[in-house]
Chains A and B, each alone.
Chain A
């Protein structure tokens, strides 16, 4: 991403930039876009069939996309913001100060874009990045298969060479929003003869191609964005390979590291309210102490671990700025963050009793806590299970033999 590097702006120009950002946000982020996100339609996902919930959402998205600020640090020549790291940080700070919603949520931004910037050809960047930035194309991710979960490299979706095309056959699972996406970036097998990690190719497939179909998956928490995606003799141009044929595992690993740090930092939209707040509200106090003594010590132990995890993320951040590579520590972050979140929701049930058990009804926000509780069980499965993260820590941090 060398294009994004600009000379370090002076302190005064950064302060000017901050003033500009403040003025821009004040003028362009409508009041309703500064409210907490209550449901999925409160955020814009873009795509060929993307619809805005209301005029405010459209106005906010367009204002940000025009400036390329849906992807602040991506190069200007593709339509990105072209901001330096310092400027992007200011934008983030000012957006947070006003509680601005993200203007666009997109797998293209989180995952495919970074892969294209790292591994894509110039033609691919010009073809795909502008549409990600402007929210025109919605992407989904096709990695896991029914027989390839933790052992992802054993995937079997076949892409057979046929002239300048591949013919793809197979099935993907856990493809979030596949039923709403326009394109999928998928791992397919182009060679089955050698070691399983070799012979995997990173391929971009249009979901409107004949032979692609999807089916939604209902989770233990109820409705979900997850789907199964089927490929039945799907013809894909070879120009859609990212990186080299048979070298897709490198691209996939790069993206998984991205995904892991993202999951560890954003497992829960409700990080700000202390667990003890719910405990106090439901259980009550006796002589200034939580009325249930056992629960009190468990809540406190969780809050100590929660604070310790936050401080540790700060520390790792600082160490990275000082030049240390994050390396396999992203596996630790993913492991600890997701286990912590699961423990938190177990305690939410203990702290809130009936209120946390209700599955429906307005009084219980449609069973929000119970459903979130169920959903947290996936935290330690998606993006590499906790057990896989422990394997990675053992091997790559502790250097234990295999």
Chain B
């Protein structure tokens, strides 16, 4: 494992920087103000598809680039810096999950994910909080079909998806299904969140699916959910590293520009010490976030614990970095014209996705026997 990027990863980082320059923070503002239906730029997403981003963690045999989670994490960090909205993370997670758990028939979908950027969304959450180990939705078995009714929440990119990974309870225990969007009884309700992105309610009314739509096998849904939790949080942690680092850089720049009492406000020790302390916290968060990606790539048995540590820390530090940002920008930080607020809003939604601070601290402590 390595904290220092390989040449290949460095190249990827540079190309991502160039790409995300075309999607600056102003883009998310324009999408918001223009009441864009999609909430992200389909043109930008198409460019990512052309660059092979959706298949970055997929094996070459299945049509991907096989660069590993570390590489996708590098992209996530850059997208965090520019707050670029896209289905990149959703697609990265679902592709990895389908490749690991899917049947041969399901794995055939990987080529359209890699080549066309087809979106498979993750529908695990029920209600206000992410608790994927259990499901209150029952999938009733009758012969060769399951009938499912219930509601899933906070489905990222749900409105753009062509199919869904849905968990539900069966006689064998929690089971994951891969369900196409055109299945009868399935509908989507877009909800607009604080970060100017759409998340969906996925409604299932007597949705009937064949046993062949089970992802993996019946009763193995907890394993699927556990993998989703690890991968999604390792990636979000890296996105949050991008968010907090950019917010911090902008704040430090502002401290050097803004003058009060005939001096740059960055010369005041009260602000210097807070900035220096925050610098250290970001260093710690960064190391944990990178370690989480490597732990997944290396199939380290500690990976689940490290992913939860990384997410928990990145939630706390992104909170601190964006709060300090708004405070140190002062009145201007409260205005919609100034971009620092966008970082705070994205950090808050990202923090809750796939489990917030309390969820991950609990998960980490439980895994460590306390």
A interface residues with partner B (beta carbon < 8 Å): 274, 276, 279-280, 285, 288-290, 296-297, 299-301, 303-305, 307-309, 311-312, 314-315, 318-319, 322, 332, 335-336, 387, 389-391, 393-394, 397-402
Contact = CB atoms under 8 A, between A and B. Distances in A.
Given A318-B4, A390-B276, A400-B264, 7 more contacts: A279-B370, A300-B361, A305-B313, A307-B306, A312-B283, A319-B3, A394-B275
A314 B272 CA distance: 27
Contacts of A303: 364, 368
B240 to A, nearest CB: 14
Interface in B82-111: none
Contacts of A285: 370
B215 interface: no
A312 B290 CA distance: 10
B179 interface: no
B212 interface: no
Given A312-B284, A394-B276, A304 B369 contact: no
Given A315-B3, A390-B277, A393-B280, A400 B252 contact: yes
Given A290-B365, A311-B288, A402-B267, A393 B3 contact: no
23 contacts: A274-B368, A279-B370, A288-B366, A296-B365, A299-B370, A300-B312, A303-B364, A304-B361, A311-B288, A315-B286, A318-B4, A332-B283, A394-B272, A394-B276, A397-B279, A398-B272, A399-B252, A400-B252, A400-B255, A400-B264, A400-B272, A401-B256, A401-B266
Contacts of B299: none
B312 A304 contact: yes
A155 to B, nearest CB: 23
A304 B291 CA distance: 12
Nearest to B251: A398
B78 to A, nearest CB: 19
A401 B264 contact: yes
Interface residues of B, number: 38
B128 interface: no
A399 B4 contact: no
B266 A311 contact: no
Contact of A394 (B2, B273, B285, B358): B273
B139 interface: no
A305 B284 CA distance: 7
B4 A336 contact: no
Contacts of B290: 311, 315
Contact of B4 (A290, A322, A394): A322
B157 to A, nearest CB: 29
B256 A399 contact: yes
Contacts of A387: 273
